[in-house]
Chains A and B, each alone.
With several copies, the nearest count.
Chain A
Amino acid sequence: MKIEIMNEKFDPWQSLVDYKKNVLQNNPKIGATSVFVGTVRDFNDDEEVQNMELEHYPGMTEKYLEDIVNAAIKKYKIIDGLVIHRVGALEPTDPIVIVASWSEHRDNAFNATRDIMEALKAEAPFWKKESTNNGFRWVEPTIGEENNIDEI
């Protein structure tokens, strides 16, 4: 498993290839790889986005990402999982996150990558602040994507 928080711009595909080559290697049990990459768009909620700041809670964020990947390993019997997430200053077209799952069969890889992304968005402590023509704004969770975490 690899969980990483990156402060600098990164190439998600190169990170994936490096992890596969150096850690997972040519494991002949792997039949399926499912990967998701999220990137910064230049529009959100009908406003032009010039750039973005991504904040996290060091320690807690890594813990939750690890728990989320472990849950997917257990539920879908995936062989391994990877999450790399950017923080700091980002611009449109910059990669934000890569999630990858490796498994014997495609169903489990597809489901694991999707579950990890959904859990990451609902639970992992990251916060986006967008710079638009109207100044800075903290991004609100999308309706229907709220977590079930108790609120004060």
Chain B
Amino acid sequence: MKIYVKYFASVRDIMGKDSEDLKIETSLSANELWKSLTVGKKTPIRVLVAVNHEYVDKNFKLKNGDEIAFFPPVTGG
């Protein structure tokens, strides 16, 4: 299945890119995907995750075609 991954703000700085398209064999949770993407990286303590423009919890199971985004707590306004 195909997954579209986006990174914003300090998470993008750490990942060194703003997005990537992935092909994965088995369905992963948001947390499992994050762990596999950040192996060997020093990651921030606080990361939020959204799938298809909605916040989800870390156990959310990804489906084919999902857009998943990882980013730090928001600071607008």
Residues of chain A touching chain B, judged by Cβ–Cβ distance below 8 Å, are: 38, 54-57, 59-60, 63, 85, 96-97, 106, 117, 120-129, 138-141, 146-147, 149-152
CB neighbours of A126 from chain B (8 A): 74-77
A97-B76, A127-B9, A150-B58 as given contacts; A59 in contact with B53, CB under 8 Å: yes
Query: Which residues from 24 to 77 on chain B have a C-beta closer than 8 Å to any C-beta of chain A?
Result: 30-31, 34, 46-50, 53-58, 69-77
Closest to B59 in A: A150
CB neighbours of A124 from chain B (8 A): 74, 76-77
Min CB gap A118→B, angstroms: 9
CB neighbours of A146 from chain B (8 A): 73
Are A121 and B73 within 8 A (Cβ)?
Answer: no
Pick the contact of B53 from A63, A127, A152 — CB < 8 Å?
A63
CB neighbours of A59 from chain B (8 A): 53
Main DSSP-derived SS at the A contact region:
mixed
A60-B69, A127-B9 as given contacts; A54 in contact with B76, CB under 8 Å: yes
CB neighbours of B73 from chain A (8 A): 140-141, 146-147, 149, 151
CB neighbours of A152 from chain B (8 A): 30-31, 34, 47-49, 58, 70
Closest to A55 in B: B9
Are A97 and B55 within 8 A (Cβ)?
Answer: no
Across the A-B interface, give the 9 residue pairs with the lowest CB-CB distance, nearest first. Answer: A126-B76, A127-B9, A150-B57, A60-B53, A121-B77, A152-B47, A139-B75, A138-B10, A141-B73
Please list 18 pairs of residues, one from A and one from B, whose beta carbons are closer than 8 Å in the complex, sorted by A's number: A38-B77, A54-B76, A57-B50, A59-B53, A97-B77, A120-B77, A121-B74, A123-B55, A125-B74, A126-B77, A128-B76, A138-B75, A140-B73, A150-B48, A150-B57, A151-B48, A152-B47, A152-B48
Closest to B77 in A: A121
Closest to B33 in A: A152
Are A125 and B10 within 8 A (Cβ)?
Answer: no
CB neighbours of B74 from chain A (8 A): 121-127, 141, 147
CB neighbours of A60 from chain B (8 A): 50, 53-54, 69
CB neighbours of A138 from chain B (8 A): 9-10, 72, 75
